[in-house]
Amino acid sequence: MAGWLSLMLVVAVAGRQATREMDVFQIMEMRSLMGLVLLYPLVRMAGGWSALRTHQLPRHVGRNIVHYAAQYGWFLALTLIPLGQVVAIEFTMPIWTVLLAALFLGERLHRWKLAAVVLGAIGVAMIARPAGGAGIGAGQAIALVAALGFAVSVILVKSMARTEQAVTIMFWMLAVQSVLGLLPALAVWRWPTAAGWGWVTLVAIAGTYAHYCMASAMRHADATVVVPMDFLRVPLSALAGWLVYAERIDLWMALGTALILVGNLLNLGRAPTPTGTGRS
């Protein structure tokens, strides 16, 4: 999860920079195609091409249609609202994930897990509140819908991680999304500058290995343990927004961050040690 947190911060900053000269569809397509190349060393480590075989192709396709739409919304929101706010709103996702995992995966919803989610959600609400008391704008709404899509995607990853290797899940994510995004990307294609190539390559590298880290984490712990840890990305993203884009951090950000950290400490302090039954 430490790898996921660090790499997703890189994706957020590099993705925002790339959108300054490229359409979101193009960025996502280039990221998927580059990711397939970057995944090759992990495929070799996992046993070669045989590691990519799956008996769950329809589930892979369904999961990645949802994930593709959510990812598009996330990148689009980066162009509309502050970085810290995008990531904060994204973290309505763990609320849905924990509940869906309990309902559909049979994971136990301990009170400490529930406390972590509730405290994290309150912290997120403090950070993501609309400025000046205004209602939720287009950027916030898009980020919220993306969060719901990510929650569905995480649940499907967890259900597949019981039988699929992390590299298998990653390969089919990149393969399906590269097919889905080809025509939309060609419709808006423009050749990037040297800087544009650099930013989108950084998105591809960080994004590919971030999702590998997440899929690996899902094989070693319950979704209801892994996902609340991801709340740490909210204050880290706000800090990145302040350092890179001079986005303001106020008292509400500090209070929200404190609640998120407390929630994670409660959850991790009571988390059961995972057994080896979920490993390949």
DSSP sequence for the chain: -HHHHHHHHHHHHHHHHHTTTS-HHHHHHHHHHHHHHHTHHHHHHTTSGGGG--S-HHHHHHHHHHHHHHHHHHHHHHTTS-HHHHHHHHTTHHHHHHHHHHHHS-----HHHHHHHHHHHHHHHHHHPPGGG----HHHHHHHHHHHHHHHHHHHHHHHTTTS-HHHHHHHHHHHHHHHHHHHHHHT-----HHHHHHHHHHHHHHHHHHHHHHHHHHHS-HHHHHHHGGGHHHHHHHHHHHHH-----HHHHHHHHHHHHHHHHHHHHPPPP-GGG--
In this predicted structure, what is the pLDDT of residue 275?
40
Cβ pair 26, 86 in contact under 8 A:
no
Judge whether 194 and 244 are in contact, CB under 8 Å. Answer: no
Q: What's the pLDDT score for residue 262?
A: 81
The residue among 274 and 5 whose pLDDT is bigger is: 5
Average pLDDT of span 136-153: 86
Highest mean pLDDT among 128-132, 227-231, 274-278: 227-231
Spatial neighbors of 164 by CB under 8 A, at least 6 apart, are 54, 56
What is the pLDDT, as a whole number, of residue 278?
35
Domain ranges (residues) in the chain: 2-272
Q: Count of CB atoms within 10 A of residue 16's CB? A: 20
Q: What is the mean pLDDT of residues 139-143?
A: 86
The mean predicted confidence, pLDDT, of the chain is: 82
> Tell me, what's the pLDDT at 276?
37
Enumerate residues 6+ apart whose C-beta is below 8 A from 20. none
pTM for the predicted model, two decimal places: 0.76
Phi-psi region of 48 (alpha: psi -120 to 50; beta: other; left: phi over 0): left
Instruction: Average the pLDDT over each of 66-80, 96-110, 210-224 and give the range with the smallest value.
Output: 210-224
